[in-house]
Amino acid sequence: MLSKTIRLSPTELIEHSGTIANVVGLTIESIGPQAAIGEILRLCTPKGEYAAECEVVGFRDNRIIAMVLGQTHHAEQR
C-alpha cells in the first residue's frame, strides 16, 4: 500500500492510500493515491508497517510510477 499524508493544521492529518499494481526492481506502479510528480509517498505493508519512501516519477495508464528512495524495511514478495 502506498499512502500520502497531508497536514491541514498542527493536529489534523488526512491520509490517502493506493494499491500496488506492479513492482519491477525499485520501480513501483500503483493505483492511487492521487499525487504529483516529485511528491514523496510512504510504502507500507498490508499490516501497516513502514517499508520505504518513494518518489513519484511519472504516470502510465492512470497509474502512478514511483521509485523507492533508500532502504526498504519489511518488504517482501507475496
The model's pTM = 0.76
Model pLDDT, residue 76 = 57
Model pLDDT, residue 67 = 95
Q: Is the pLDDT of residue 66 over 60?
A: yes
Report which DSSP code applies to 8: S
Model pLDDT, residue 17 = 86
- pLDDT, tens only, 6-51: 666 666 666 788 999 999 988 999 998 888 999 988 888 888 888 8
CATH 1.10.8 given to domain 2-69: no
Q: Is the pLDDT of residue 75 over 80?
A: no
